[in-house]
């Protein structure tokens, strides 16, 4: 699914980002404060930019981990890392645009530069930012990756989608660490299980969160699992996103007995390589305290 937004400074979003940073909700992700103007103004990131073309790419799996006692992995990480695949898709799209419109200058972004991807996707009509701070589309839910193509070609922008969260607060009530603000639409990233299991680089997880991880060893899908809009999610057709290796059927003991050699073999092309064996071992230890 593709949407288009006009390339202009995100004034309202910039103010909200600054407030979020001032609250310290980025935790140890200090890089979130870097390159602020590039993050909120695409014409600084890509001089001459006129359009932001946003891509939403489905990753909802056809099957999920069946052993609920085994440590759980977020659905986006079931298969191979998505960055290279989506970058290839964007380059193909850019080639197609050049074929139709002639010389066009642009850059592809897949979580690889200071780009506010959810804000751009919202402006491009790919959904609204829900109370869980994820982008939600009324026909497909929220299980999709986002990527951007910023170009110097002026295209007709799409209309934004209105907010459909209404009075629902399922995501707020379900979050075991209280990461989502009581009124929604604001996430304390330093409390999010995805942050704790992936981004936090400490040797041990903070003790207050022991017993609150809901068996998640990498990432977390709780606020998506309870979202009513995800009843419309349909399985993807991307072979790279299907589980590889044997880990998908492991039980709890097999996870706990995993050696570094087995980890490297099972998760060679997986997003789980990001925290590495030491990080996953740390998370496993926290689940068993």
Cross-strand bridge partners of residue 107: 150
Could you give the CA distance from residue 134 to residue 237 in angstroms, rounded to a whole number?
22
Could you give the CA distance from residue 190 to residue 39 in angstroms, rounded to a whole number?
20
Which residues 6+ apart lie within 8 Å of 170 measured at CB?
226, 227, 228
3-state helix, strand, coil in the chain (%, to 5): 40, 15, 45
CA dihedral for 36, 41, 43, 45, sign (positive or negative): positive
Catalytic pick from 41, 81, 111, 152?
A: 111
Residue showing tokens 């001032």: 22
Long-range Cβ contacts of 100-103 (<8 Å, 24+ apart): 101/153
Mapped onto helix, strand or coil, the DSSP state of residue 131 is coil
111 a catalytic residue:
yes
Which residues are the active-site residues? 111
């Amino acid at each position: 699914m593709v949407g288009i937004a006009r390339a202009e400074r995100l004034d309202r979003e910039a103010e909200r980002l600054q407030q979020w940073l001032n609250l310290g909700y980025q935790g140890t992700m200090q890089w979130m404060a870097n390159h602020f103007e590039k993050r909120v103004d695409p014409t600084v990131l890509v001089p001459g930019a006129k359009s932001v073309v946003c891509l939403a790419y489905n990753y909802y799996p056809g099957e999920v981990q069946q052993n609920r006692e085994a440590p759980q992995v977020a659905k986006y990480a079931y298969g191979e890392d998505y960055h290279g695949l989506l970058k290839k898709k964007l380059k193909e799209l850019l080639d197609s645009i050049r074929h139709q419109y002639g010389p066009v200058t642009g850059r592809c972004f897949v979580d690889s530069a200071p780009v506010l991807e959810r804000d751009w996707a919202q402006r491009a009509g790919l959904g609204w930012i829900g109370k869980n701070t994820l982008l939600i589309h009324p026909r497909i839910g929220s299980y999709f990756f986002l990527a951007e193509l910023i170009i110097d070609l002026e295209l007709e922008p799409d209309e934004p989608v209105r907010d459909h969260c209404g009075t629902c607060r399922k995501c707020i009530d379900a979050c075991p660490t209280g990461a989502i603000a009581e009124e929604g639409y604001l996430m304390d990233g330093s409390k999010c299980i995805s942050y704790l299991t992936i981004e936090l680089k400490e040797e041990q997880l903070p003790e207050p969160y022991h017993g609150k991880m809901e068996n998640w060893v990498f990432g977390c899908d709780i606020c998506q699992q309870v979202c009513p809009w995800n009843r419309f999610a349909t399985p993807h057709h991307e072979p790279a996103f299907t589980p590889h290796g044997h880990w998908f059927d492991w039980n709890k003991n097999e996870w706990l007995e995993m050696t570094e050699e087995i980890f490297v073999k099972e998760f060679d092309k997986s997003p789980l390589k990001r925290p590495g064996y030491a990080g996953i071992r740390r998370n496993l230890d926290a689940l068993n305290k």
